[in-house]
Amino acid sequence: MELKHEHSSAIQNNRKKADSYIHSPAEQQRLYKRTLLIVVISQIFGGAGLAAGVTVGALLAQEMLGTDSYAGIPAALLTLGSALSAFLIGRFSQRSGRRLGLGLGFLVGGIGAIGVVMAAIMSNIILLFASLCVYGAGTATNLQARYAGTDLAGPTQRATAISIAMVSTTFGAVAGPNLVEPMGRFALSMGVPALAGPFMLGAAAFTLAGLVLLAFLRPDPLLIAKSWDRQQPKKSAEANPSADQSSIVNNRGLIVGTTVMVLTQIVMVAIMTMTPIHMKHHGHGLSEVGLVIGIHVGAMYFPSLVTGILVDKLGRTFMAYTSGVTLLAAGLLAAIAPGDSLVLLITALALLGLGWNLGFISGTALIVDATTASTRAKTQGTLDVLTALAGAAGGALSGMVVASSSYAVLSYAGGFLSLLLIPVVIWTRRKSAAPKSSAM
């Protein structure tokens, strides 16, 4: 009864706060900017935590298992954990707001990182796999946080808001892989295996990100947005005769946005997961691996500010096409690059990150456009599950593909798979245009 009373009081307080903003555009913009600032700060820490699993997860599993065939399993487990977490975070955020949903998600991810460190110390592969699943909560939260900035954004600000949240991840995400070697030395000085060092950083980073959100993301942007929606005057059927058609277009927006994110995630995760293994086989050390993955992760996030503006100005579908072409170039270059060429590997992985960035922001913007505050968080969480599962499939299959063929075959396959973005988007646009033409 007390919990219900507290939840009811929180809703009433948010409605009162919404009243103070709804009639003042200046106050709305101030709240929007403040929300973005808090999200940016949390994402800087979250990015550092995200990079640990990406950089050394596969190497840690390879060291403990003694084979390459299952080196893609850590990425698969991490993304499976991310999928479950995205679903739970989405529903919890819909009910209780972004602050609690995202804050607790980061803290759970920090617990998972601690579990990975303990697994490395104990050389316990089962604990490693279980902890990587829990660590996936931090990854899911890091991606879900991009939605928090859009709750209070106008239609022409949404892609830019997404990009601001994502570009702030760059600082931590680029620093993380480049701290692999120093963190490895730090871990060794404490009697911990070197490859567990980055996860020690991840534990601290995810925990700090969660605490920032829990302490400062007030008032909650999603709860305020829901209150605004409830207080907007309802349009009559006569004033909005095309409501049914709008719903159809929104559903198609969800389909194409999800497809874009799923395909870009599969291609990116598959190639990225096996690149450290490929580099190790060609004599590259941890510092070179950290450099390549650091630049790759930087390319995933750093272009976001420009990408968001382009998506808002040039359109979601045009940027989705651009993503497919960029990912194709990345796959082809990764396939033909000599294994000992650090420059070409850096270029290929940078293109891979950029292609993912273009697809992920345009896909996310399509999804935000097609949702309302009343269902936004749980819908976004559900669709992020599909994206995470796609990444899990890409990560799991990548090791098997490379073990049975080669890294080049994997890269070719990923590059050509990305081209499916173009016919899918064209088909969806034609389906969306058909009712309009028939109506005329």
In a domain, 238, yes or no: no
435 CB-side CA count, 13 A: 12
In a domain, 49, yes or no: yes
State the pLDDT confidence band at 211, using cuts at 50, 70 and 90.
Answer: very high
Range with the poorest average pLDDT among 140-144, 315-319, 425-429? 425-429
Q: What is the pLDDT of residue 69?
A: 64
Task: Note the pLDDT tens digit of each residue in 368-398.
Answer: 888 888 788 888 888 888 887 887 788 878 8
The CA distance from 157 to 36, in Å, is 12
In a domain, 440, yes or no: no
State the pLDDT confidence band at 239, using cuts at 50, 70 and 90.
Answer: very low
Domain range for 423: 13-228+249-432
Is pLDDT larger for residue 8 or for residue 168?
168
Q: Does residue 194 have a pLDDT over 80?
A: yes
Q: Model-level pTM?
A: 0.75
Cβ atoms of residues 257 and 364 within 8 Å: yes
Domain count, the chain: 1
Q: Does residue 245 have a pLDDT over 50?
A: no
The CA distance from 424 to 426, in Å, is 6
In a domain, 144, yes or no: yes
Single out the residue of 302, 297, 330, 321 nearest to residue 414, CA to CA: 330
HEC profile of 191-217: CCCHHHHHHHHHHHHHHHHHHHHHHHC
250 CB-side CA count, 13 A: 14
At position 166, the amino acid (one-letter code) is: M
State the pLDDT confidence band at 56, using cuts at 50, 70 and 90.
Answer: confident
Is 222 strand, coil or helix? helix
Is 405 strand, coil or helix? coil
In a domain, 237, yes or no: no
Q: Does residue 234 have a pLDDT over 60?
A: no
Task: Note the pLDDT tens digit of each residue in 63-92.
Answer: 777 766 666 677 678 878 888 898 999 999
Q: Does residue 98 have a pLDDT over 90?
A: yes
Dihedral of the CA atoms 67, 70, 74, 79 (nearest 10)? 160
In a domain, 141, yes or no: yes
% of the chain at pLDDT higher than 90? 31
In a domain, 85, yes or no: yes
Q: What is the pLDDT of residue 271?
A: 93
Q: What is the pLDDT of residue 439?
A: 38
In a domain, 47, yes or no: yes
CATH code of the domain containing 294 = 1.20.1250.20
259 CB-side CA count, 13 A: 23
